[in-house]
Amino acid sequence: MAAHALIELDAVVAIARRQSFRAAAADLQISTTSLSNIVAKFERRLGVRLFNRTTRSVSLTDAGRSFVEQVSPALVDIHDAMETVKSQQEIPSGTLRINAFPTAAREILAPVILEYLRRFPRVHIDLVTEGRLVDVVAEGFDLGVRSADLVPSDMIAAPLGHPRSNAVVASPAYFEKHGEPRAPLDLLDHACIRVRLPDGAIYRWHFEKDGHPVVVDVEGPITLDEASLARAAVLSGIGIGYFMESDIREDIEAGRLVRVLHDWMKPVAPLCLYYPGRKNPSAAFRAFVDLARGRVTQVRS
């Protein structure tokens, strides 16, 4: 929410920019009713109407247009000055909102997020995981984490570690009973765990060898939309699964799962931490970016 000392000015400028009380209220994180009351009281104090309102539209009056033109540049300078002061805090504190793909969140949770919280206990992290692509600025996030090839071009991106890989695995018991596939198309003769994407489509398994891509629309006894459920199904011996290697690396190392078709796996783009440019990032923000850049690279090297 805008600072109380500036809320009236922020309210007028936001409504002028958005030409909508509802949209401006969302930007300021207050209710439409509260915003309307703030502007009405401000207009009474000034003794002049700033907006023409109808049930369908909002527009500036001549007085309102003159007011906004004079106030807007000064308001930007004031907010910049306030952010400069805030950024000078020595101890990171406050809340950081992060949006990430579920697989990305699992990869950075222990080495970055939990380590960050141990170092900076005055910071609260609000981590939201979802499969869809998100506009982090429009939805109020400080940072995002996704594959490098999916980072918007207008964002600052910080690569997190080396390229990743997918893995095709099953339990030793499954392969003892059904044999191992030697090529991707052999999967059509096996029971596979199908994966539903966030948009409802069924994911087709991708492979590549010597520059020749192969896509397989697998069949199997169950369709799932969450990696932990698919892992549980594969561990039970019901079929073969296709995962990010990081999700089942410990199972492979412990012998609970066996990896096949390794030579058909093309490297996946590395993860990136990304964010919009900021003039005066907070201490909490700076500390997180610094830790993420160093910690994940160290873990993956």
Please write the tens of the pLDDT for every residue from 208-218.
Answer: 999 899 999 99
**In CATH, what number is assigned to the domain containing residue 144?**
3.40.190.10
**In CATH, what number is assigned to the domain containing residue 183?**
3.40.190.290
Do 102 and 170 belong together in one domain? no
Range of the domain at 48: 4-87
Pairing relationship of beta strands 58-60 and 271-275 according to DSSP bridges: unpaired
What was the pLDDT predicted at 148? 86
Do 211 and 172 belong together in one domain? yes
Do 186 and 240 belong together in one domain? yes
Do 209 and 145 belong together in one domain? no
Do 217 and 99 belong together in one domain? no
Do 200 and 250 belong together in one domain? yes
Residues contacting 77, CB < 8 A, separation 6+ = none
What was the pLDDT predicted at 89? 66
Domain count, the chain: 3
Q: Which of 11-25, 58-72, 96-110, 266-280 is predicted with the least confidence, judged by mean pLDDT?
A: 266-280
Do 134 and 256 belong together in one domain? no
DSSP 103-169: HHHHHHIIIIIIHHHHH-TTEEEEEEE-SS---TTTTT-SEEEEEGGGS-TTSEEEEESS-B-EEEE
Question: For the whole model, what pTM was predicted?
Answer: 0.61
Average pLDDT for the chain: 88
